[in-house]
Structure 1
Amino acid sequence: MQAEEAARRWLADQGVRPMGDGWVSNEKPNTLLTANQVAHSWAGDVFAEDLDAADQVRLAFGLLDLLDEYWVTCEIRFANGGAEGPLPADVLWNGYRRRLEADRDAEAVTCSLWVDWFQDDATSATAFAEVLGNDIDRVVTERSEALLRRARRVLECSGPVRWAVKESVYHTAIRLPALRPALFRGLLTSFHDVYGDLEPAAALALVDQLDLPAGTRHLAELRHVLVAGHKNHYRGLGAWDDAVRSCS
């Protein structure tokens, strides 16, 4: 909440304030702006502020809390890869972890992980380790609701992470029944996502340990394509359709 209030004050200093269901700026006081428009117009300016890099990152995450817009995460990533980057890793990844653990919608954060950090081979392994891999043993041991919430969210969007990076994490996560539905969705997107990655035999062994209800949607189809040795929906066109027909 402190970060969100700091972001609200910062926007006010830029001449931007909330108005009804949107925002207005001093430059165009009669034009109602959406949160997305505010994010596109001002989020990048955070990294031009006369603050140290850690405080810039904190302010940017406050803006994310306030606006709940994916574009804010894009500006964070641009700054990390820009001329003044990389950003302080401890502040950057703590910002992601805290929001993944929070009991509020995290779609902007999980979308950022999925389509940006996890799909880029240059950042995927580090990002996955920071948001889950380094902590998976603690998640399984402590089982706090916040840690479980973070683990579920990361597992569900982990499809693009290279199999060699995530396999050991998957094997640890499967020990906890509370994480198995999320792990199943991670395996499913590992097959279906354009950038998804899995090894069929190893993934099949995990699927067979999930102990999900027999009628779980897409469970039979996923097992069918893995038994046939398919690694990815887009590298085995028609395989999923064949599985659907065979399992119907």
Structure 2
Amino acid sequence: METRHEEAARRWLADQGVSRTAGGWVRDGEPDVLFTAGQVAHSWAGDVFAEDMDAADRVRLAFGLLDLLDTYWVTCEIRFAYEDPEDPLPAGALWDGYRRRLEADRDAETVTYSLWVDWFEDRATSATAFAEVLGNDIDRTAAEPSEALIRRARRVLECSGPVDWTVKEPAYRTAVRLPDLHEPVFRGLLASFHDLYGDLDPTPARALLDRLDLPPHTRHLPELRHALAAGHRNHHRSPGAWDDAVRSCSRP
């Protein structure tokens, strides 16, 4: 069932002469020329931000287009518009759009990928982005957990590897209070070690790891514990550390 934002996006595309058929997307006058969702996004998503409407409404329309097309390029256009020095998007509407989709009971891979590569890997935006999608709400999540808040926390933790350790550590420590978030915290620590831009402090990271209640045969758990115990911060800064951990953990 479509959300109201998807419905608005569909109507907006129809006004542009674009509609969906069983085989793909078509444009008025060219019914035999099929467009993929990605092609629709590349051709029309940027036009949303030229609409004569309230800036927050433009943001909501863009997120509706993301819901409808589920393609990464829409998130790129959202960020381009956000960074427009002459007419920047309102931050409140932007981050509300991300939070809502992180909480929704539907696939969010496009949203988490956008967070990871566009907002978390960029040191100029990672602290603000992390705070907006999780850091500001982690205490409420721990005190009053709901399915939606847990879902959002899980998704953010798992893609938070590039976020500066000092920014994300408080959220990690709070998340450990919730058993449902132990595996996502582990995934976040693992990504913090392996991501090209991953960041962690090995001593407190290992202390957090030791507090997690994980299945004993959790893949990569002993190797990560070994690498952190040896004081390594990141796979790419210590290229041989992981291989050494694998060898050490495979010995009888």
Matched, 1:75 2:84: no
- Provide, for residues 72-130 of structure 1, a one-character-per-residue CA deviation record: whole Å limited to 9, x for no partner: 01100010112334311111111100000000000110001000000111110010000
Residue number in structure 1 paired with 2:48 = 46
Residue number in structure 1 paired with 2:111 = 109
- Provide, for residues 54-74 of structure 1, a one-character-per-residue CA deviation record: whole Å limited to 9, x for no partner: 111010000001011111011
What is the DSSP-based 3-state SS (H/G/I as helix, E as strand, rest coil) of the residue aligned with 2:32?
A: coil
1:85/1:123 Cα in 2 relative to 1: closer, same or farther (>3 Å)? farther
Residue number in structure 2 paired with 1:7 = 9
- Shift of residue 202, structure 1, vs aligned partner: 1.0
What is the DSSP-based 3-state SS (H/G/I as helix, E as strand, rest coil) of the residue aligned with 2:31?
A: coil
- Provide, for residues 112-163 of structure 1, a one-character-per-residue CA deviation record: whole Å limited to 9, x for no partner: 1000000111110010000000000111111100000000000000000000
Residue number in structure 2 paired with 1:181 = 183
Residue-pair matches, total: 248
State the AA in 1 paired with 2:231.
G
What is the DSSP-based 3-state SS (H/G/I as helix, E as strand, rest coil) of the residue aligned with 1:212?
A: coil
State the AA in 2 paired with 1:3.
H
Residue number in structure 2 paired with 1:141 = 143
TM-score of the two chains, using structure 2 as the length reference: 0.96
Matched, 1:31 2:33: yes
Counterpart pick for 1:128 among 125, 130, 133: 130
What's the RMSD between the two structures over aligned residues? Answer: 0.9
Residue number in structure 1 paired with 2:205 = 203
Matched, 1:154 2:156: yes
TM-score of the two chains, using structure 1 as the length reference: 0.98
- Shift of residue 29, structure 1, vs aligned partner: 2.6
State the AA in 1 paired with 2:28.
N
Bigger shift: residues 85-94 or 150-159:
85-94
- Provide, for residues 22-66 of structure 1, a one-character-per-residue CA deviation record: whole Å limited to 9, x for no partner: 100125331111111111111111011111211110100000010
What is the DSSP-based 3-state SS (H/G/I as helix, E as strand, rest coil) of the residue aligned with 1:214?
A: coil
State the AA in 2 paired with 1:35.
A
Bigger shift: residues 171-180 or 17-26:
17-26
Matched, 1:55 2:49: no
Unaligned ranges ≥5, structure 2: none
Unaligned ranges ≥5, structure 1: none
Query: Partners in 2 of 1:85 and 1:245 — Cα distance?
Result: 54
State the AA in 2 paired with 1:176.
L
Counterpart pick for 2:99 among 97, 100, 104: 97
Aligned-residue identity in percent:
74
Residue number in structure 2 paired with 1:165 = 167
State the AA in 2 paired with 1:194.
L
